[in-house]
A = this chain, B = another copy of it.
């Protein structure tokens, strides 16, 4: 891995490089995505079946688009029992963590008869998109579905592209069932997003669409935003390790590689005050890479978006970490909790040398669907919050309104909204 001295220039270049990976810079696909969405909106199921034939090579019809109980039972027979045991252990942790995120309706009343509050209501129906292809990520299925289940969503609808044989990967199906999906439909790509956003004869319209996908899926989600809600648009994976001279270079190297292996756009960055650590991590990275099965992806990812940066002070390290706002941030310093208090922007923060990033991907409980590409400055991990919405509650008694009615009428008059003023006035004629 390349080692660089941290300077204003390296930081600026690095940020520019990383932002190039933004899912917002793929305008050239927008037209085809818009066409797919419009066709699905208009022709509904017919369009879904045609696109699934075209893009996935599968024959899907109204007869088999919905996964049956028999297919789920078959999937259970095909999935390794030991993996199922691990999935269930992970799910327990995920459920326990998300349960703590639950927000409750509240109200506040005063003796003059005012009651103000906030009512929390689960969304009624949500769509979870799960990518197809060779890579199968059951962990992602769990992480998308469980927060919706904990929130109390009535219907959790999953869509995922079928293989050429019209089947869904059994591990994906079992994960969906275990996590609590209420229906699974065999459709993928922008057409699946269109179906969830507008509804078809087979697939009901949802209130919100979540889940990662390729560039077509990301652009389709962005296009239907407003018509339905969406989660934040996922970009390539990232890890940033903040370390001082106390860090174990083998651990740091292994953790950087765990993200670099995702894809060629993934980014792995170490920012440290220790030149010695930088050197050793670079060596360990080379050693590990040679042995890992995904070495080609890793090498490209490291060449493009892998950095080891040496800073003069821990303040500079922190400042850089906050500027980059990494999806995953690991802290391996002498006082990691102290360092954590200074971190402003990160999707998930892993504290200390035994909190390796994959622990969060699979097992610990917090969601692994995290803001990428600098969006941790304003977006949050996927959570129970994403599957509820709030209504304000306002209740005034006659007495309470009478106390303030002249003030409200005056405010309305200042905005020249006389019908607003009238609706208060009429109550005290």
* Interface residues, chain A, with chain B CB atoms under 8 Å away: 22-24, 80, 82-83, 86-87, 89-90, 97, 100-101, 103, 106, 108, 114-116, 118-119, 121, 123-124, 135-139, 171, 207-208, 222, 225-229, 232-233, 250-251, 254-255, 257-258, 260-262, 288, 292-294, 298, 336, 340, 343-367, 370-371, 375-381, 383, 385, 389-398, 400-401, 404, 407-408, 410-412, 414-424, 426-427
B residues less than 8 Å from A377 (CB atoms): 123-124, 207, 389
Complex: chain B residue closest to A418, CB-CB? B293
| A409 smallest CB distance to B (angstroms) | 9
A116 and B364 within 8 A (CB) = yes
Write the nearest CB–CB distance from A416 to chain B, whole angstroms: 7
CA distance A402 to B283 in the complex (A): 26
Q: Take A351-B395, A419-B298 as given contacts and tell me if A378 and B226 are in contact as well, using a CB distance cutoff of 8 Å.
A: no
- Chain B residue, CB-CB nearest to A23: B226
Copies in the complex: 2
**Choice from B347, B356, B375, B414 contacting A391 with Cβ under 8 Å:** B347
The answer for the CA separation of A392 and B347 in the assembled complex, in Å, is 7
- Shortest C-beta distance, A129 to chain B (Å), equals 16
> Which among A251, A336, A379 has the greatest number of chain B C-beta atoms within 10 A?
A379
Q: Choose one: B344, B375, B392; the contact of A124 (CB below 8 Å).
A: B344
B365 pairs with A407, CB closer than 8 A = no
**Contact of A423 with B357 in the complex, beta carbons under 8 Å:** yes
B359 contacts A424, C-beta separation under 8 Å: yes
- A–B complex contacts, Cβ < 8 Å, 28 sampled: A22-B226, A24-B227, A103-B103, A116-B365, A138-B414, A139-B411, A139-B415, A250-B426, A254-B423, A257-B419, A340-B393, A347-B391, A348-B391, A348-B393, A348-B394, A349-B392, A349-B393, A350-B394, A352-B397, A355-B395, A358-B423, A360-B394, A361-B412, A363-B411, A366-B392, A367-B392, A378-B389, A380-B390
Instruction: Write the nearest CB–CB distance from A363 to chain B, whole angstroms.
Output: 5
Whether A401 and B288, one on each chain, are in contact in the complex, defined by CB atoms closer than 8 angstroms, is no
**A390 pairs with B383, CB closer than 8 A:** yes
Knowing A226-B23, A226-B233, A378-B208, the reply to whether A361 touches B420 (Cβ < 8 A) is yes
| Given known contacts A348-B391, A417-B261, A359 and B408 CB-to-CB distance under 8 angstroms | yes
**Does B354 contact A400, Cβ atoms closer than 8 Å?**
yes
> Which 10 A-B residue pairs are closest in the complex by CB-CB distance?
A366-B392, A351-B395, A261-B419, A229-B378, A380-B390, A348-B392, A254-B423, A358-B420, A207-B378, A258-B423
Q: Measured between C-beta atoms, what is the minimum distance from A130 to chain B in Å?
A: 13
A228 surroundings in chain B (CB, below 8 A): 378
Q: Are B222 and A422 in contact (CB under 8 A)?
A: no
Q: Smallest Cβ distance from A263 to chain B, in angstroms?
A: 11
Please, which residues of chain B bring their CB within 8 A of the CB of A392? 347-349, 360, 366-367, 370, 381
A222, A260, A298, A415: most-surrounded residue (chain B CB, <10 A) = A415
Q: Which residue of B lies closest to A119 (CB)?
A: B349
Complex partner residue of A225 from B97, B116, B222, B420, CB under 8 angstroms: B222
Query: Which residues of the other chain, B, contact A250 by a CB distance below 8 angstroms?
Result: 426
A396 pairs with B354, CB closer than 8 A: yes
A326 to chain B, nearest CB (A): 10
CA distance A427 to B415 in the complex (A): 65
Is B359 touching A394 in the complex (CB atoms < 8 A)? yes
Given the complex, which residues of B lie within 8 Å of A97, measured CB to CB? Answer: 108, 116
* Complex contacts, A371 vs chain B, CB 8 Å: 389
Q: Which residues of B contact A24 (CB under 8 A)?
A: 226-227
A389–B380 contact, CB under 8 A? yes
Contact (Cβ within 8 A) B414 A344: no
Is there an interface contact between A229 and B346, defined as CB atoms closer than 8 Å? Answer: no
Further 20 A-B residue pairs, CB within 8 A, beyond A348-B394, A351-B394, A356-B427: A24-B226, A90-B411, A116-B366, A124-B377, A135-B415, A136-B415, A138-B411, A222-B226, A229-B375, A251-B423, A288-B419, A348-B391, A349-B393, A354-B401, A354-B427, A356-B423, A363-B411, A376-B391, A380-B391, A381-B392
